[in-house]
Amino acid sequence: MLSQTPAALGYRMPAEWEPHAATWLSWPRREGISFPDSFGRVLRVLRAMVEALLQSEQVCINVCNAAHEAEARSALAGLPNERITFYRIPTNEPWCRDHGPIFLTRDRDPKLAAVDWDYNAWGNKYPPFNLDEVVPTHVAEVLNVPAFYPHMILEGGSIDVNGAGALLTTESCLLNNNRNPNLSRDVIEQRLRDYLGVQDILWLGHGIVGDDTDGHIDDLARFVSERTVVAVAEEDQHDENYGPLQENLARLREIKIANDKIEIVTLPMPKKIVREGLRLPASYANFYIATTCVLVPTFGDPADEVALSILRKCFPGRRVIGIDCRELIWGLGTFHCLTQQQPAV
């Protein structure tokens, strides 16, 4: 069966707002590189994230071994653990959006499948990544679902879909020579169509300053319905994000799905956050849509409430929950980067 592509077999990648069976996480390792000198402070943010998710759905957590599981359980002590399942799937770092499986669904059995894209830690920036690279296959094994292998490097944070055939991505990431230097744009587009069940590939340009992923779409623009995209915009013309984000907005205004232009809702950007001389990629677009709630990173910024208000209008049927991510963003990602949805079937 797996000699055919997922699209040929009737699979598609659902939109994030479609119902979930679970949210997958990879628990960070104290000895990992993601949160230097702030691991303990980050655990408080992770607990708040899990607490909110448990009100919505099951939470599946990858851990390396018994000691790692015990550390995670300690951080989550007092939460309703009947909705938490730990899996002995070791990882290097906690960014499950990028190293986890992309789940697909269809109407006939097997209804759920996983895509195991190749992974090289955002262009070989952060070795080792040998454990992260094989996470999707391990998840497919524990769930007993088919796994597909496109033989192309792709991180989950680099794409966003509307569940009805359209996919958003960026040239700065997917066309970067540190990902798939031997694949042309046309070949990359065809792999996306074959392995995610999409038709329309919608390209934006560059990402925000400080984003070590080379411009993941989940810091820039996100579908919130089949025809509506929220996109971040920088109002300060002197900020280095102003030009690239204006160019992305201009591209969005020209995009059509089935001959109709999309609706664009703009989100503000928080003020520049610099730590130890590094500008951090803080963005309200890195929200995560769970079944009954939306987790939104906040940054102790006056724009926090503006962003939350905008997203509440986009998701009237869900609780929109802001959680302070000033420590979490030191790892260069927030809630969308940490999570991977398993759709309900």
Predicted confidence (pLDDT) per residue in 87-109, tens digit: 999 999 999 999 999 999 999 99
> What is the mean predicted confidence (pLDDT) over 297-322?
98
pLDDT higher than 90, residue 258: no
Check if 337 is active-site.
Answer: yes
Strands (E), 50-125: 58-63, 84-88, 102-105, 112-115
Whole-number percent of the chain with pLDDT over 90: 98
Fold assignment, 20-343: L-arginine/glycine Amidinotransferase; Chain A (3.75.10)
Which token pair is 333?
């990602």
What are the b/e assignments for 181-205, b being 16+ CB within 10 Å? eebeeeebbebbbbbbbbebbbbbb
Q: Which of 173, 293, 314, 337 is catalytic?
A: 337
**Cis bond upstream, residue 136 (ω within 30):** no
Q: How far apart are CA 154 and CA 272, in angstroms?
A: 28
pLDDT (0 to 100) of residue 3:
77
Q: How many residues belong to the chain?
A: 345
What are the tens digits of pLDDT across the range 325-342? Answer: 999 999 999 999 999 999
Whole-number percent of the chain with pLDDT over 70: 99
pLDDT (0 to 100) of residue 36:
84
pLDDT higher than 60, residue 1: no
> What is the mean predicted confidence (pLDDT) over 140-148?
98
User: Given the structure tokens 């969005």, which residue do they identify?
Assistant: 252
Q: Which of 251, 200, 194 is nearest to 221 (CA)?
A: 251
